[in-house]
């Protein structure tokens, strides 16, 4: 599917973008990969990192808020992976309209550019915080998800199709809790907001593989959610720094005790496989081919980090951290 295709990644210098580009170069044969992002230094560093494949990489300085620049970058592109976002929860709370302009207006700009440039497939990355959001970041990503799914109704005779991938916390990503805990462990004390707190967990490699699979499987309008393990924050702290003291500091504004990726209301038109869930669009007018090898979830189903049937304890987390070089 990716062979000889032109692939563009917004926010391509981030953790996901670096891992995604590496996977494409190692395991697929794209004709060209375009990294679209705002930070010229990160592009410079990324270009050095992938210097052996320089002939297949192009770097575009640009912001998803800039509609005209997106139109220029999307010329002759086959596939877009939209990873650009303002995602730091406290910063989004303090600078709300900045998050709105990037995460919502930027999403609409990507949609418009993809439609007019006749891009074939667009995958947007979401977050578990978009389900029943309690902070602004989650609310902007929920809005973004809705925009991308509804965008299929605007395709008309165009081949452009849009889908969304939603997953939980990414192990080792930029801003991840892992390097923070390691830094704090040096001082002998790690702050924990609540010792009951749980989170979904996925590695960068798993996230990249899931996005590639979604690109392969999508017909348009789907929300793909991987079946991934949960972990307790206290178990992660013990895995990283078993001798450090844990200090309970209380939940921060905009933070949930447990994350949720599928609510009861989202479970309509939701299907399950052994590895992921697929929520199909609720629009009666949007017709897609019947799914095979899937099972409808029962009425009232929800997918939350505290009631998950897959778990990582401290020993399991240690193994994953070691396997990922963290």
- Residue 256 designated active-site: no
Sign of CA dihedral 261, 267, 270, 271: positive
Tally Cβ neighbours within 10 Å of residue 13: 26
Spatial CA neighbour of 41 closest among 52, 49, 31, 33: 49
Q: Are 141 and 100 in contact (CB under 8 A)?
A: no
Angle at 213 between CA 171 and CA 150, to 5 degrees: 95
Spatial separation of the C-alpha atoms in residues 297 and 274, rounded to whole Å: 12
Selected catalytic residue, list 5, 42, 87, 129:
129
Distances (CA, A) of 31 to 6, 108, 110, 166, 213: 6, 27, 21, 27, 19
Structure tokens at 230: 């949960």
188: left (phi over 0), alpha (psi -120 to 50) or beta: left
> How crowded is the C-beta side of 223, counted as CA atoms within 13 Å?
28
Catalytic positions, please?
Answer: 129
């Amino acid at each position: 599917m990716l062979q000889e295709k032109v692939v563009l990644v917004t926010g391509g210098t981030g953790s996901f973008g670096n891992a995604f580009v590496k996977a494409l170069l190692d395991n697929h044969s794209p004709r060209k990969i375009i990294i679209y992002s705002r930070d010229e230094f990160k592009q410079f560093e990324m270009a050095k990192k992938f210097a052996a494949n320089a002939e297949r990489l192009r770097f575009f300085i640009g912001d998803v808020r800039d509609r005209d620049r997106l139109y220029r970058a999307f010329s002759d592109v086959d596939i877009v992976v939209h990873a650009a976002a303002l995602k730091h929860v406290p910063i989004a709370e303090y600078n709300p309209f900045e998050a709105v302009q990037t995460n919502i207006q930027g999403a609409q700009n990507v949609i418009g550019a993809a439609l007019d440039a006749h891009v074939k497939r667009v995958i947007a990355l979401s977050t578990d915080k978009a389900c029943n959001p309690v902070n602004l970041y989650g609310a902007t990503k929920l809005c973004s998800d809705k925009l991308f799914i509804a965008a299929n109704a605007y395709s008309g005779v165009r081949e452009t199709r849009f889908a969304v991938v939603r997953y939980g916390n990414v192990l080792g990503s930029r801003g991840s809790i892992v390097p923070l805990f390691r830094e704090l462990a040096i001082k002998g004390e790690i702050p924990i907001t609540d010792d009951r707190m749980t989170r979904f967990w996925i590695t960068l490699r798993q996230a990249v593989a899931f996005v590639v699979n979604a690109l392969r499987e999508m017909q348009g309008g789907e929300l793909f959610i991987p079946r991934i393990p949960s972990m307790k924050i206290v178990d992660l702290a013990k895995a990283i720094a078993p001798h450090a003291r844990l200090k309970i500091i209380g939940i921060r504004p905009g933070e949930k005790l447990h994350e949720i990726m599928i609510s009861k209301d989202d479970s309509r038109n939701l299907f399950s496989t052994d590895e992921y869930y697929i929520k199909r669009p609720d629009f009666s007018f949007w017709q897609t081919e019947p799914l095979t090898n899937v099972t409808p979830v029962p009425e009232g189903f929800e997918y939350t980090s505290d009631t998950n049937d897959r778990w990582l304890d401290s020993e399991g987390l240690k193994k994953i951290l070691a396997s990922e070089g963290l």
